[in-house]
Amino acid sequence: MSETTIHKTIYLKATPAQVWEYLTDPDKLATWFHKPKTALTKGPYEMFGATSGDKLMWGEVLVSEPHTRLEYTFTIAPMGDATSTVKWTLDNVAGGTRLSLVHEGLPVGEEAFGLTLALDKGWDEHLGRMRNGIDAA
């Protein structure tokens, strides 16, 4: 059985540099996702609920190429000891940025499908909030 992978792509009316800020800056991350205590750069990170302050996610930033690519390991409590990987790619396009997400290495099988559904829906909601934040800026 192969691993489960989620793919998402959105187009944003913002430069790759502006989108990068939404992927790495703690205050901008808090508007659409979760809030780290420091900017996402290579090395370990933790993210917390913007309102609750609860630790929600943790891992390590593996690749940080400003304005083009960000990759980190991703673990949340429902995954137990399992670790997945989130890869963001930013491409400059006429009028803005194409932002692509690949979330790979997710658990497989019928028992894990509920987690996949929850993550898939969660990414849709998070990306919608990012779009709204960028549009309002």
Distance, C-alpha 112 to centroid of its chain: 20
The CATH number given to 4-136 is 3.30.530.20
Q: Is the model's pLDDT at 128 over the cut of 90?
A: yes
Strands 96-106 and 84-93 turn out to be: antiparallel
Instruction: Supply the Cα-derived Rg of the chain in whole angstroms.
Output: 14
Evaluate whether 25 touches 123 at the Cβ level (below 8 Å): no
Of 13-17, 73-77, 119-123, the one with minimum mean pLDDT is 73-77
User: Confidence class of residue 11 from pLDDT cuts 50, 70 and 90?
Assistant: very high
Q: Could you read off the pLDDT of 59-102 as tens digits, one per residue?
A: 999 999 999 999 999 999 888 878 999 999 999 999 999 999 99
For tokens 């187009």, the residue is 11
- Outline where 3-112 has alpha helix (H): 16-24, 26-32
